[in-house]
Amino acid sequence: MTTGSGKINVLLIGGGGREHALAEAISRSPRLGTLYVTHPSNPGLAKLGTPVDVPVSARELYRLGQFCDRKDIGLVVIGPEAPLAEGYADVLGKRADGTVRPVFGPGKRGAMLEADKAFAKQMMRAASVPTGDGRVFKDYDRAVEYYSTREEPMVVKAAGLAKGKGVIVPETMQEGLDAIKRMMKQLEFGDAGKTIVVEERLQGTEVSVLALVDGRNILVLPPCQDHKRLGEGDTGPNTGGMGAFCPADTVDDATMRVIETEVFVPMVDAMRREEIEFRGVLYAGIMLTPGGPKVLEFNTRFGDPECQPLMARLESDAVELFLATAEGRLDEVDVRFSEQTAVCVVLASQGYPASPKTGDAITGIDKAEQIDGVRVFHAGTKIENGEIVTAGGRVLGVTAVGPDFATARQLAYRACERISFRGMHYRRDIGSTKPAAAR
């Protein structure tokens, strides 16, 4: 049985910085038996977990299912959106003997809240969740006709999964019309852009509010702030995220309560009405507008890099917490975070996000981690000829905890300076959208 105090074997799916942070939190748990990982090419994961010995793909999911049976996996934790959208949770959530295996992460239908922005808009509308006015288009001519009648350029979003790049916030009408063409005609985002959402542009400060949801109960986590643009001062193209900090004091407790009651509660109720059993993380990207908080998007997983500062602060037993979420027992557990602030700075490779260069040797990770309170999470790295080299766009997540924001930030940047690889770049203003007084 999974309840009680026995050891549990855990399978962690995913291979980025978020998963390295999750693996570390899971490894701290006294409940952990063996941690199996699907992406041992990430040196951080290789150090903490045992590699699975079957192929990991949506087509051959039954083999991962057999692996879970063979290794007596008592909890599956799914990190990224793609395996969630592909229905991994639905398959791995059933044992060969017909019993239920706890999975942290929603099934295919729940994952649609992220994988299909048109569906998410419709669910938000049905649940009266505050969000920007928006319309869904499957037809190019209709989209252009509608867009052309607007007075201000509206935001254009590919409805499907586009690795965080499928949202264009145009400055001019022409840019907006071009975005519609790139998505719907030139299929720049593949099938993800065949359907688009055209949405009113919202103004305000952005915050990431994540909650654990066990199908019924909601446990809202401390708010985080992410920095999506590549360049300092929030300029340049959107990326997967260049850094994050937690807690984000740009959102006060009263607003957090509004977000819980006006966003999370009605969404979870709406999902229940649709008979969607959502067990995992529901992540609301929120714009704090003068008219109150409004939802920009939902994700159905931990944010990357928001997960890194969150896990750096987590004091509760991660296995207990994820298991309680997967088993619908969130009302029985408490979640504790340290009083500290955590800041994560992403070190990116040359050419990121357009065309990241890989294969460059990385030095100084050990030295960075010698600084008290600093952890370096591996995202796009691998080992080649005994050396750690770059293997992706977002390379490392340098994460520091400190008694206050200023200290955490200083430690993180001091650690970044100890790391080097050819073409390395990072934002030096992570956290600087905070009000000046709080810096």
Which residues of this protein are in contact with ligand AMP, per CB under 6 A?
A: 132, 155, 157, 167, 169, 199, 201-202, 206, 228, 238, 285, 296-297
Of the two residues 116 and 320, which places its CB atom closer to ligand AMP in the complex? 116
Strand 8-13 vs strand 32-37: parallel, antiparallel, or unpaired?
Answer: parallel
Of the two residues 90 and 188, which places its CB atom closer to ligand AMP in the complex? 188
Which of the listed partners (ligand AMP, ligand GLY, none) does 306 bind, with a CB threshold of 5 to 8 Å by partner kind? ligand GLY
**Total of chain residues touching ligand GLY, rule CB under 6 A:** 7
Applying CB under 6 A, which of residues 241, 280, 356, 373 lies at the interface with ligand GLY? 241
Residues contacting residue 432 through CB under 8 Å, at least 6 positions apart: 439
Instruction: Phi first, then psi: give them for residue 266, nearest 5 degrees.
Output: -65, -30
For tokens 């704090």, name the residue.
Answer: 288
Query: Where does residue 185 fall: left (phi above 0), alpha (psi -120 to 50 degrees), or beta otherwise?
Result: alpha
How far is Cα 32 from Cα 15, in angstroms, rounded to an integer? 19
| Tokens linked to 285 | 């990207």
Q: What is the DSSP track for 399-418?
A: EEEESSHHHHHHHHHHHHHT
Of the two residues 283 and 405, which places its CB atom closer to ligand AMP in the complex? 283
Residues contacting residue 235 through CB under 8 Å, at least 6 positions apart: 229
State the minimum distance, in angstroms, from the CB of residue 304 to ligand GLY. 5
Amino acid at residue number 171: E
Q: Does 317 bind ligand GLY (CB under 6 A)?
A: no
Contact 118, 136 (CB under 8 A): yes
Q: Does 164 bind ligand GLY (CB under 6 A)?
A: yes
Of the two residues 294 and 375, which places its CB atom closer to ligand AMP in the complex? 294
Of residues 268-307, those binding ligand GLY (CB under 6 A): 299, 303-304, 306
Contact 185, 230 (CB under 8 A): no
Of the two residues 169 and 406, which places its CB atom closer to ligand AMP in the complex? 169
Which of the listed partners (ligand AMP, ligand GLY, none) does 169 bind, with a CB threshold of 5 to 8 Å by partner kind? ligand AMP
Q: Does 226 bind ligand GLY (CB under 6 A)?
A: yes
Residue nearest to ligand AMP (CB): 297
How far is Cα 193 from Cα 439, in angstroms, rounded to an integer? 39
Contact 294, 278 (CB under 8 A): no
State the minimum distance, in angstroms, from the CB of residue 5 to ligand AMP. 40
Which of the listed partners (ligand AMP, ligand GLY, none) does 202 bind, with a CB threshold of 5 to 8 Å by partner kind? ligand AMP
For ligand GLY, the binding residues (CB under 6 A) are: 164, 226, 241, 299, 303-304, 306
